[in-house]
Structure 1
Amino acid sequence: MNTTRRGGTGDVATATDGAPRKRRLVGIDAARGLALIGLMAIHLLPAWNEQTGEASWSWRLFSGHSAALFALLAGVGLALGSGARQPREGRALTADRVSVLVRALLIVTVGMTVNAAMPEDPPAYNILFYYGMFFILAIPFLHARPKTLFIWAAAFGILSPLLMQRMLDVLPEWWYYNPTLPNVLSNPAGTLSQLLLTGNYPALPYMTYLLVGMGLGRLDLRAVRTQVRLVIVGVALTVLAQLVSAVLLYGLGGYSVLQEASRLSESTLDEILVWGTDSLPTDTGWWLAITTPHSNTPLAIATSLGLSLAVLGVFLLISQKIGDWLVPLSAMGSMTLTLYSAHLLALSLELHYDSPYLWYVVHLLVAAAFAVIWQRTLGQGPLERVVAYCAKGTRRLVAGRGGNANPEKTRNS
């Protein structure tokens, strides 16, 4: 869902200033390709096993986590595109900010256009509408260093869920899962609430992933030491979040409090802890101790963040040894805006319900084949090319024909 040039450096979202680039970090694209595969699985495959009634493997693996990985990688791309380890300053920074704003608006436009083609009761929730808001909220942080970004990420991860739960009963309601422009104009307050706190991918909690990704993009992601640390920290964070949740719920009585406060049966509460609810209940603060996908509690965010860090670290490590084997995955990851939009448009035909596994394979094979062939013949994905052209043109207008007063700061590291 980002933009690049063939032969560019680093992330798919970074090549907007025309400066020289190092060889592409294939592991980033491959990780994004996996995130796309995960979203397709959630949209197409059954969420539960019909024989056992238990959550399916696809739900357990990807629900909530694929979107978090997308947001993390978006942050990496924003950092790589704004100077990488040397954040830009002055006019060049202003140009970066305007360029990111243009990209955000274009992504929102694509998202609402896709939404217009989808049925009112959609087969999937479109993240693009929220994705643009992620970018807009990231603009003030484009100059920041890793430590600052990580501190802000922690603040968003802790405070946003608290704000979400405290304000849920007073915030204006939204009416459509996948808003179009007329929907936005008819209910602007509800749409803003949806984008920031109450929607399927609320921007304020998701800023945790984005800002951590930006912080990572300011580090040396080519260093093996950094890659190993990503895996270790990611696994540790995931395990710690799950452990803390278990202690709070089952060791300190949180489960009983939830049952009493919500007046739910044990079986119903257990279902909520697996599947979640449309919105986080507000009858007790103990709901913030759960790690259910899309609940956007601090511990749920920490779980998804940890998994995302580990996945990125693993792909960065293995891409150095088996990069050629990752070509289908990395090609898909290099044009996720195009492939994700096409995937949603295909879902809008509603042909997949009777044969979900077959259609999942079809979506994967078509996406992989298209991505590999297109990348090898034409480079950028079609929508990525349009976004890159507009963003790069805007950046040059703001920065001037020279593009940057300090060329060294345009090179990713």
Structure 2
Amino acid sequence: MGVDAARGIALIGLMVIHILPSWNPETGDASLAWILFSGNSAALFALLAGVGLGLGTGGVSVHRGRRMTADRVGLLVRAMLIGLVGLTVSSVMPAEDPPAAGILVYYAAFFLLAVPFLHLGARALFLWAAGFALFSQPLMQLLWNRLPGTTSYNPTFHELATEPLGILSHLLVTGVYPALPYMAYVLAGLAVGRLDLRSKTVQRTLLVVGALLAAGAKAVSHLLLYGAGGYDRLLLSVGMDEELLWRWLVWGPEFRPEGTAWWLVITTRHTNTPFAIAFALGVGLATLGACLLIARRIPGPLGPLATMGAMTFTLYTAHLLALAAEVHYDEPFLWFLIHLVVAATFALAWCRVFGQGPLERCVSVSVRTTRRLVAGPSTSAVGTRTVDAPPDRRTSTGEPGI
């Protein structure tokens, strides 16, 4: 329940970012919605996808042999199906100035890149996550101007056919949720999924370590910017002034300045710097730890959140399709409430009657069938509940989120 409740929070956070205003029109300052959820919701989604992968591949007892091979092939099938849905949704969205950047196609890329890491234990996965957090942004800066571009904000079937290399660079480096830095969240989540999440000690550790990581990233970034001269160095970079630098620190860079690496110390959302990743990862770990602890003591209040979190694939897809109508701009607060109430009502009603969400069931059946074909019937009843057993009628914490 705690994992699914955290997914529900991530889903609501993305709804907030897609619909509610990002700034105060009178002051120009970032809105509370932007401060709380921008970047953090997507990072939490990716982290929980990794947790689901960890649980679904054995948890603390990592699958080996044919079962791990079956897990890898099953993840390939999952990535393909999610990618197809994502491309379909992108094809429905407006091509110019779309109301949201869908994460589904990026998710497919995350899962494809996660396949080689499924057999690793928690310690190795945390080290790999740290490596992606530290080195992905410098690598992206080297590749940025050397990669082909794409004409679409949200990748579609047409761009996939006509601009395959552009779509590849978009998903890995230049897009809104580039896979290179986001693998830090996925692999950290996979490592967390290797821990005993039923342990109260582990739950407390996630909460404390997450809070310390987020606070530490903010504190060190502030010290480097304002105590070690980083702010002044950035101000001296070509084309920079105080107004532009203020916008940088609130909304993120409009360009990557040459001749200085000081911008890598900022924690602005979606910049994917090491400090920004550390902050968002810390927020995600603390959120997960808090949800696990609350579910342990007073699970009742988390019920609706967990039910929504158990079918984020269905609800997120429906949310994007509803945004494609572009009727929410004039009354954002009203439309946010409509999206939230409809999502919660549908999730509770569907779960009570059918259990697993409709898109989740389609993907789950396909993946389980693939796993059985690869692993053989003799392994179908061995190991954790989430691999081949029927899904729980309320939640599905063994599924990788979306």
User: Is it true that 1:73 corresponds to 2:56 in the alignment?
Assistant: no
Which residue in the other structure is 2:166 paired with? 190
Q: 2:228 aligns with which of 252, 256, 268?
A: 252
Q: 1:35 aligns with which of 10, 20, 25?
A: 10
TM-score with structure 1 setting the length: 0.91
Which residue in the other structure is 1:341 paired with? 317
- Give, in angstroms, the shift of residue 282 of structure 1: 4.4
Judging changes above 3 Å, is the alpha-carbon distance between structure 1 residues 410 and 87 closer, same or farther for their aligned structure 2 residues? Answer: farther
User: Is it true that 1:305 corresponds to 2:261 in the alignment?
Assistant: no
User: Distance in 2 between the 1:212 and 1:127 partners?
Assistant: 19
Matches of residues 207-218 of structure 1 in structure 2 within 5 Å? 207-218=183-194
Which residue in the other structure is 2:58 paired with? 83
User: Is it true that 1:158 corresponds to 2:127 in the alignment?
Assistant: no
Asked whether the equivalents of residues 80 and 108 of structure 2 are also in contact (C-alpha less than 8 Å), the reply is yes
Q: Considering only aligned residues, what root-mean-square deviation do their CA atoms show, in Å?
A: 1.4
Asked whether the equivalents of residues 88 and 409 of structure 1 are also in contact (C-alpha less than 8 Å), the reply is no
Q: Which amino acid aligns with 1:373?
A: A
Deviation string for 1:363-405 (max 9, x for gaps)? 000000000111111001010010001101111111112235x
Deviation string for 1:227-266 (max 9, x for gaps)? 1111110111011111111111111111111121132220
Which residue in the other structure is 2:392 paired with? none
Stretches (4+) displaced over 4 A: 278-283, 409-413
User: Is it true that 1:369 corresponds to 2:345 in the alignment?
Assistant: yes
- Give, in angstroms, the shift of residue 222 of structure 1: 0.7
User: Is it true that 1:145 corresponds to 2:121 in the alignment?
Assistant: yes
- Give, in angstroms, the shift of residue 341 of structure 1: 0.5
User: Is it true that 1:332 corresponds to 2:291 in the alignment?
Assistant: no
User: Distance in 1 between the 2:311 and 2:368 partners?
Assistant: 17
SS of match in other structure, 2:298: helix
SS of match in other structure, 1:291: coil
Judging changes above 3 Å, is the alpha-carbon distance between structure 1 residues 349 and 283 closer, same or farther for their aligned structure 2 residues? Answer: farther
- Give, in angstroms, the shift of residue 153 of structure 1: 0.5
Asked whether the equivalents of residues 242 and 303 of structure 1 are also in contact (C-alpha less than 8 Å), the reply is yes
Which residue in the other structure is 1:401 paired with? 377
Judging changes above 3 Å, is the alpha-carbon distance between structure 1 residues 40 and 226 closer, same or farther for their aligned structure 2 residues? Answer: same
Which residue in the other structure is 1:229 paired with? 205
User: Distance in 1 between the 2:5 and 2:105 partners?
Assistant: 23
- Give, in angstroms, the shift of residue 280 of structure 1: 4.3
Q: 1:276 aligns with which of 218, 235, 252?
A: 252
Matches of residues 42-61 of structure 1 in structure 2 within 5 Å? 42-61=17-36
User: Distance in 2 between the 1:196 and 1:339 partners?
Assistant: 25
User: Distance in 2 between the 1:48 and 1:75 partners?
Assistant: 31
TM-score with structure 2 setting the length: 0.94
User: Distance in 1 between the 2:37 and 2:136 partners?
Assistant: 23
User: Distance in 2 between the 1:272 and 1:154 partners?
Assistant: 25
Judging changes above 3 Å, is the alpha-carbon distance between structure 1 residues 381 and 138 closer, same or farther for their aligned structure 2 residues? Answer: same
Which residue in the other structure is 2:145 paired with? 169
Same amino acid, percent of matched pairs:
55
Q: 1:100 aligns with which of 52, 75, 82?
A: 75
Which residue in the other structure is 2:291 paired with? 315
User: Distance in 2 between the 1:333 and 1:81 partners?
Assistant: 16
Deviation string for 1:173-214 (max 9, x for gaps)? 222111111111211111111111111001110011111101
Structure 2: tracts of 5 or more residues without a match: 388-397
Asked whether the equivalents of residues 237 and 257 of structure 2 are also in contact (C-alpha less than 8 Å), the reply is no
Which residue in the other structure is 2:98 paired with? 122
Q: Which amino acid aligns with 1:167?
A: L
- Give, in angstroms, the shift of residue 313 of structure 1: 0.3
User: Distance in 2 between the 1:71 and 1:411 partners?
Assistant: 19
Identify the range of structure 1 (197-206 vs 279-288) with the bigger mean alpha-carbon deviation: 279-288
- Give, in angstroms, the shift of residue 411 of structure 1: 6.9
- Give, in angstroms, the shift of residue 215 of structure 1: 0.6
Q: Which amino acid aligns with 1:265?
A: D
Asked whether the equivalents of residues 84 and 411 of structure 1 are also in contact (C-alpha less than 8 Å), the reply is no
Q: Which amino acid aligns with 2:365?
A: Y
User: Distance in 2 between the 1:186 and 1:411 partners?
Assistant: 39
User: Distance in 1 between the 2:142 and 2:306 partners?
Assistant: 41
Structure 1: tracts of 5 or more residues without a match: 1-25
- Give, in angstroms, the shift of residue 281 of structure 1: 4.2
User: Distance in 1 between the 2:226 and 2:239 partners?
Assistant: 18
Asked whether the equivalents of residues 280 and 295 of structure 1 are also in contact (C-alpha less than 8 Å), the reply is no
Deviation string for 1:48-96 (max 9, x for gaps)? 0122221000000000000000000000000100111111111111000
SS of match in other structure, 1:55: coil
User: Is it true that 1:360 corresponds to 2:336 in the alignment?
Assistant: yes
User: Is it true that 1:240 corresponds to 2:216 in the alignment?
Assistant: yes
